[in-house]
Every structure is written in C-alpha cells, then in structure tokens.
Amino acid sequence: MAAQTQSNRANEISQQTIDAYRRDGFVRVNGIISKQEAAEYRQAAIAAAAANKSNTVGDIFTQHVNIWRVDEAMRRLTFHPNVTAVARKLAEVPLRLWHDQILIKKPHNNTPTEFHQDQPYWPHNNSTHPISIWIALCDVPPERGCMTFIPGFHNRNDLAAQDLGDARSMFEMCPEMQWESRVTVPLRAGDCTFHHGRCPHQANANSTDEPRVAHAVIFVDASTTYSGTKHIVTDPLGMKAGAVLDGELFPIVGE
C-alpha cells in the first residue's frame, strides 16, 4: 500500500468551498486521495467485496456495510486523514463515524440509484450536520454511475424515506423539487463529493464493461442519539432509544 497522500487537504479547503457546501448541500473535492492510492484501494475494495458478506439492493448496487471493521486496508481509507479532516471542516461541528460502505454497481447493471435523501433511512435524533463522502475508486463518468445532486434542498427535514428503486418517489413527496436544476458530477479516480445527509441525490446506471467501485463514509454529529427505529447497523446493539450513539462502532473523528 502506498504512503498516504502527504498534503493535508483540509488546509486547502477555502471558506468559499465551505460556503458552497452550506448553500448547496454538496461539494466536489478533487484528489482527496492520490491516483496511486485510488488504484490500490480499488483493488482492496474488490478483494474485500469478494471476501465479505454483502447486501445486494435489487440490481441497484451491492453494498458492504462497516467494511472498516473487517478489512485493514479499507479501514485506512475510512479514517484517512484527508477524509476525516475535510468532513470535519465542512460540517463545522464535532463528528463521529456512523458507518462506511463499499458501493459497487456491476457492469451493465442498467439500474440507477433513484433520487433520495440519506438521513430518513437512519435511526437518528439530534443530527443536523450529517455528512457523507463518496470516493471514486475508478474513473466514474456519467455512464458508469456517477452522482447527481439537487442543490439547496438539504433543509428539507420533513420527508419520509424515499424508494431507491422508484424514480417518482422523491418527486411525489416533494413536487417542487422536480423542476430544480440538477448537478451531475463525473469523478476521476481519487476524486470525491461530500454531501449533507438530506441533500437529494441519485446515481446513474452503469452501462460500461467495468464495475463502478466507490467507497462511502458517513459521519454524523457527535451528539447524535439513537431514535429506536430499525437499521442494519444498530439492530444488533440493543441500544435504548435516546442513548447517545457512542461506543467503539461510532468513534469520534477529525478532532
């Protein structure tokens, strides 16, 4: 594994970038890891995906949740100093890890990830600054399944969980979103986006011969409490509703 990127990307994040994140609910950051790191983590992600239990969401994608718990290389990526420091800088509040996941769209999966917000799926209270990084571990042009965002809607905290497989779901819940501008963000390997947990987003289908390999890491406010609703990460933990989401699964990051 190559030495980690030397430059501290958090020092290069300008106030303008922070303001854009606050306004739009997402921002692109190129070169969060180097090209060499991206190539090595792509191999690590493919090996970890083959060796570990996965959750397949229809034809949409295969996800490997909390891969940092079982794979040393992916753990290094999840806690990469650029990842945690830039997330902390953009969120502007103390953060803890919620979970990570390798997200693979198979070649020719022909199925987009439809528009949704992430936070309605999560069993959280008191989390107002949830932030996810989505790192491209291969080049991800639109036709391989890059992300598209609807800027400025991360203040909508009143919507129920949308259906990832239904292109109408988001717009039936929030018709005024339908005619807003959308921003599609093709990424080179090593580039990433950060998005707020309520920023509406989707990802295209993969119509290429290569798998689309991405790694997502999700952070939430350090003060987040457990709401008591079902979720794959918290179900085995026997937590009480109202408890702070702490413990070894949810470490504080980027202090």
- Residue 86 in contact with ligand SIN, rule: CB under 6 A: no
Distances (CA, A) of 175 to 34, 62, 178: 40, 29, 6
Q: How far is the CB of 248 from Ni ion (least distance, A)?
A: 25
Give which of ligand SIN, Ni ion, none residue 254 binds (C-beta under 5 to 8 Å, depending on kind).
Answer: none
Sole binder of ligand SIN in the list 21, 61, 98, 153 (CB under 6 A): 61
What is the spatial distance between Cα 147 and Cα 128, in angstroms, rounded to a whole number?
22
- Residue 191 in contact with Ni ion, rule: CB under 5 A: no
- Number of residues forming the site for ligand SIN (CB under 6 A): 10
Sole binder of ligand SIN in the list 78, 111, 113, 162 (CB under 6 A): 113
Contacts of 244 (CB under 8 A, 6+ apart): 223, 224, 225, 226
Distances (CA, A) of 97 to 13, 207, 243: 21, 32, 16
Contact 53, 124 (CB under 8 A): no
Give which of Ni ion, ligand SIN, none residue 103 binds (C-beta under 5 to 8 Å, depending on kind).
Answer: ligand SIN
Give which of ligand SIN, Ni ion, none residue 214 binds (C-beta under 5 to 8 Å, depending on kind).
Answer: ligand SIN
Q: Kindly state the tokens that stand for 139.
A: 């080049």
DSSP 8-state symbol, 200: -
Sole binder of Ni ion in the list 40, 118, 191, 221 (CB under 5 A): 118
What is the spatial distance between Cα 75 and Cα 71, in angstroms, rounded to a whole number?
6
Q: Which of residues 171-210 bind ligand SIN (CB under 6 A)?
A: 201, 203
Q: How far is the CB of 145 from ligand SIN (least distance, A)?
A: 6
Contact 190, 36 (CB under 8 A): no
Kind and range of the H or E run holding 52: none
In the complex with ligand SIN, the residue whose CB is nearer, 149 or 226, is 149
- Residue 37 in contact with Ni ion, rule: CB under 5 A: no
Q: Are strands 131-136 and 252-253 parallel, antiparallel or unpaired?
A: unpaired
Q: By the criterion CB under 6 A, which residues form the site for ligand SIN?
A: 61, 103, 113, 118, 134, 145, 201, 203, 214, 216
Please give the residue ranges that form the binding site for Ni ion (CB under 5 A): 118
